[in-house]
Structure 1
Amino acid sequence: MIDSLQALIAQTGTQLKLHWVTAEPDMPRSLRGIGPEQTRQSLIGSLNCIHPNRLQIIGQQEQTYLSALGTNAFADTVEKLFSDHPAAVIFTDGVMPDAALLAAAERTQTPLLASTLIDQDLINHLRYFLTHALAERKTLHGVFIEVLGMGVLLIGNPAVGKSELALELITRGHRLIADDAPRFARIAPDVLEGTCPELLRDFLEVRGLGILNIRAMFGEGAVLRSKTLNLIIDLQPLDQQQLACIDRLTGSLTIANILEVTVPKVLMPVAPGRNLAILVEAAVRHQILRIRGYDASEDFTNRQARAIDVDQSDPPMALR
């Protein structure tokens, strides 16, 4: 996981033409910061001394602004820049720090870097990279599969049939992302992206058959590296009393909370004779309609209400 400045430069330095202006720190320098004030700072952005960034970027425009300041204002700005203890200050567009900035960086032990890229290109690349590299992560037990373009997580007790169901869905043209331990990262306030640990990629364990390589068996189109999580299906064997508690009109739709992101969750009863693959496809199609604003139970209720209104409005037949 990328969580230090040195690891970030090692990973992206060549592509983004980044190099050290000051000496590379001996100890890992945290990108997130340590104190609560630092952890709340934005990861990267153009020079900002009011809402400081962990990575402060100085390009041509910022350099022009600093050069136009008076002696005292320049000294105050430099003091504020480094007193906030950024992870690093990065100079772009071929700009290089002057003696005052170098002295302040040395005094505060703040690393300086430079890149020949223009500031917005560097910011956009690093912001995208850091959003994924530093995202909150959680590993869940289940099978993560793409069904009809939706990321679906199959969960349930061991031996309930998650892998067998996933295998049947794969034979129907859907794609495997991760078996057993999918890893989810919060890459946006309401978006979870699921991936597979490298060791488990392409593999699916099916009881009685052992470990299957889905890519080797079904081809490249049967696997997918990552997908956003759109729906959770909880496979549970239920008795008659539990089945009777499920609302026959609205079903068993609830909400799961993962990394503070709410995800629709459907409880799907498992019983002999039920074609779970078809039911999963139907659940996904039903959820797609909900996202588009259509709710079948609401439509049925409204239709029933209209039918009652029509019956009540008809005049009684005359007696003969």
Structure 2
Amino acid sequence: MAKVQTKDLLDEFKLELVAGETGLDREFIMSDISRPGIELTGYFRYYPKARLQILGKTELSYFNELTSEERKARSLKLCSKVTPCIVITRGMDIPQEIIEACNEKSVPLLRSPYKTTRVVSRLTNFLESRFAPFTAIHGVLVDIHGVGVMIMGQSGVGKSETALELVKRGHRLVADDSVEITQEDYDRLIGTSPKLIEHLLEIRGLGIINVMTLFGASAVRSHKEIDYVINLENWDEKKQYDRIGMEEETLKIIDVEIPKATIPVRPGRNVAVIIEVAAMNFRLKRLGLNAAEEFTARLAETIESEKHNLEQNKEF
């Protein structure tokens, strides 16, 4: 899990630091955000103090109606030892009691000129992405006609060479050898390349090549959602491979089940073209056009028709 400190928000969103400068190294332990409206009334029994606290127009309007003693007491309770920071939106004037409490408790007090809903949305997206589950998988990730295809298989099966052929055919490389995967939502995986090997391909016998230098900026991209997994394996004569496409395999990565297909590799097979067609067929399936189901339906119709003809012939 990534380490996130309050000072990261200053760098990312260019927020104004008003008070509590000594607490900028405070760490976030969760991605949730709180708008402490009920807490300002004095009810702190279930105060989510470890969350980022956002005070908008509604909260500050109520706060300003409190007595001076109440404002001081509520401000001190808002500033706990684990509160990462307090953010004031709409560029509003900040009551002196909150500033003094933040300085006393070393809780960073930040101010944004934007509306509360926009600030909440952007901060939530930022924290969710930083706290998202993460893993790394050995493979190659390629964007084929908008489909994020991750090519997997044992070492030496030809993953990088296949990726190179796909790039030559106009598709875009995301990562080679190692794919860093982040689960940004309950059903969404985003793959990126480690910075050390970004835009690079390793071809046995040739070495390391820079795809962006050779083929241009349009041949690479920095990240892509993973939609489909292709597993390459050496052809096994004893194994029965799916010849129709009705079998639905999946691969679980973190908490997400990704559709998967296994393609056997042997001399004479153009694996890059097969993967390209597999990606296009996957797109058609998402649009509701399934060739395997259509063939099965035709086959059943043909069998039923032949059966009917046989029954008629018996009658005569």
- The normalised TM-score by structure 2 is 0.85
CA gap of 1:72–1:290, structure 2 versus 1, over 3 A, is farther
- Contact kept, 8 Å, 1:2 with 1:8, in 2: the verdict is no
Deviation of the 1:260 alpha carbon = 0.7
How big is the shift at 1:319?
8.0
* Distance change >3 Å, CA 142–CA 89, structure 1 → 2: same
- Residue 40 of structure 2 is aligned to residue 44 of structure 1: no
> Contact conserved, 1:91 with 1:113, CA < 8 A, in 2?
yes
Aligned to 1:300: 295
Q: Between Structure 1 and Structure 2, how many residues are aligned?
A: 306
What residue number does 1:7 align with? Answer: 8
Aligned counterparts of 1:207 and 1:274: Cα–Cα separation in 2? 19
* Ranges in structure 2 where 5+ consecutive residues have no aligned partner: 40-45
Q: Deviations over 1:255-299 (max 9, x none)?
A: 111121111111111111111011101211221122222332222
Residue matched to 2:57:
60
Alpha-carbon shift at residue 304 of structure 1 (Å): 2.0
- Corresponding residue for residue 157 of structure 1: 154
Residue 175 of structure 1, aligned match among 148, 156, 172:
172
Verify the 8 A CA contact 1:19 1:115 in the aligned structure 2: no
Paired residue secondary structure (1:294): coil
Aligned to 2:215: 218
Uncovered stretches (5+) of structure 1, i.e. residues with no partner: 34-38
Question: How far apart, in 1, do the equivalents of 2:35 and 2:215 lie?
Answer: 48
**Residue 203, structure 1, aligned to residue 182, structure 2:** no
Alpha-carbon shift at residue 22 of structure 1 (Å): 1.9
Amino acid at match of 1:8: L
Q: Quick check: 2:6–2:108 contact (8 Å CA) kept in 1?
A: no
- TM-score w.r.t. the length of structure 1 is 0.84
Residue in 2 aligned with 1:286? Answer: 281
Letter aligned with residue 312 of structure 2: P
Give the fraction of aligned pairs with identical amino acids, expressed as a percent.
32
Cα gap change, 1:140 to 1:318, in 2 (>3 Å) = closer
Deviation, 1:128, is: 2.7
2: distance between equivalents of 1:217 and 1:285?
Answer: 26
Deviates most, 116-125 or 44-53: 44-53
Aligned-pair distance for 1:318?
7.9
Distance 1:141 1:318 in 2: 61
- Aligned to 1:144, the other structure's residue is in SS state strand
| 1:309 maps to amino acid | E
**Superposition pairs of residues 1-320 of structure 1, within 5 angstroms:** 1=2, 3-9=4-10, 11-14=11-14, 17-25=15-23, 28-31=25-28, 33=29, 39=30, 43-48=32-37, 49=39, 52=48, 54-68=51-65, 81-82=78-79, 85-102=82-99, 104-105=101-102, 108-242=105-239, 244=240, 246-250=241-245, 253-314=248-309, 316-317=312-313
The aligned amino acid for 1:89 is I
**Contact 1:47/1:58 (8 A) holds in 2:** yes
- CA distance in 1 between counterparts of 2:116 and 2:271 reads 52
SS in 2 for 1:302: helix
Give, in whole Å, the separation in 2 of the partners of 1:84 and 1:121. Answer: 27
Contact 2:151 2:159 in 1 (8 A): yes
- 2:43 aligned residue: none
Q: Give the 3 Å change call, closer, same or farther, for CA 302–318 of structure 1 in structure 2.
A: closer
In the alignment, the residues of structure 2 paired with residue 318 and residue 160 of structure 1 have an alpha-carbon distance, to the nearest angstrom, of: 56
- Determine the C-alpha separation between the residues in 1 that align with 2:133 and 2:237: 40
Does structure 1 conserve the Cα–Cα contact (< 8 Å) formed by 2:136 and 2:180?
yes
